Structure 1
């Protein structure tokens, strides 16, 4: 076989999706709570390679706010009581997709259904679940600070260890890079310890950075955005 045909065959083969490995979407468990609380939905149990996520609100009262809809952990802030139906579509690197749905019961509709507050989350490979009778679970409170690392103007220490839960539930943490200066190409993935109470970050460009901490107890959560912190890089170019 001519070399060109062999090369074409190899290219064609590598472009094809492997058989039997289509993604499977998992939208997580039903969640209950009250209007105005932050509801978390976790699709991290979905399987597949190189997954992309897209959450949508299929049905429910108007004016609900859906945040982080392009991540595996979406946030819903319902403004009214009722039943909210959500779907997550996961697509792998070859464009194959799957869809799963879940439900949020808000206010009296949850009490009438006799539902417990339930959420299952996975952070850093550690799974966590919480289930309590209706009305007993209270949302945690996020508290965070930031400070420049000693000896480095380009690094910052992030500390969320003062966050607390009124019920004493174990907390899971998620740090996010909300904004960065022009010239920076860093993202949430560049935060060291981004799913722990204390994290660190090293800048790739001088300027203002803003970070956010989200904590959750498995069903409810809270977020806090830190004040802008300016990080600087030392110019090591020789002086003429």
Structure 2
């Protein structure tokens, strides 16, 4: 509903493409002044404040958050969306790759939220929304490292919610299924048979298709809205039923 975020300032990490760009656009449409924190800040949409930020670097994060507050006048909503993928079994990635992915996908959220907390405490409608994944709750093949990082995001979300609920700061996460994003398309392009791989990914989700970035953005907007003031510590699945449904095979 347009106008729900009027007067609020939101930042979206990884907001220059994919799910992050859809989230930034939705929050902007709902009336928020939006800052996009991204390595490619020039890709921020018209009317959004693009800020170069590397979530793997604490100094970069603190400088980016400070700029958002200075230029937009405060901070009310933090969407921790920046993340990177990883493929393979537990034996397929080096220690260095484990450290790299966890540094971005988990510690990146820690750094951004830590820098934002003083400003969220001053807000009348503070909210944090993290991007987790169906991989946090379902065992997916060839996704050991990625799943571990998103499982950590789910646990971190609940712990943060418990820590800050009495300050009035709500912390939730969205857990998308396989979404139709540039990252997924790159995975498909690298497959031996991209068409067959896409068909398999679509069939894995009970509603029979990939999740759209806009659908994830709608869920983030709900969790970010002051209307959801009694919702905290929640993971909202946007996965076509993959997390909970067990359908019989088609006859």
Q: What is the TM-score with the length of structure 1 in the denominator?
A: 0.29
Q: What is the TM-score with the length of structure 2 in the denominator?
A: 0.28
**Structure with higher RCO (Cα < 8 A, 6+ apart):** 2
Choose 1 or 2 for highest CA Rg.
1
The structure whose residues are more often helix, as a share, is: 2
The structure whose residues are more often strand, as a share, is: 1
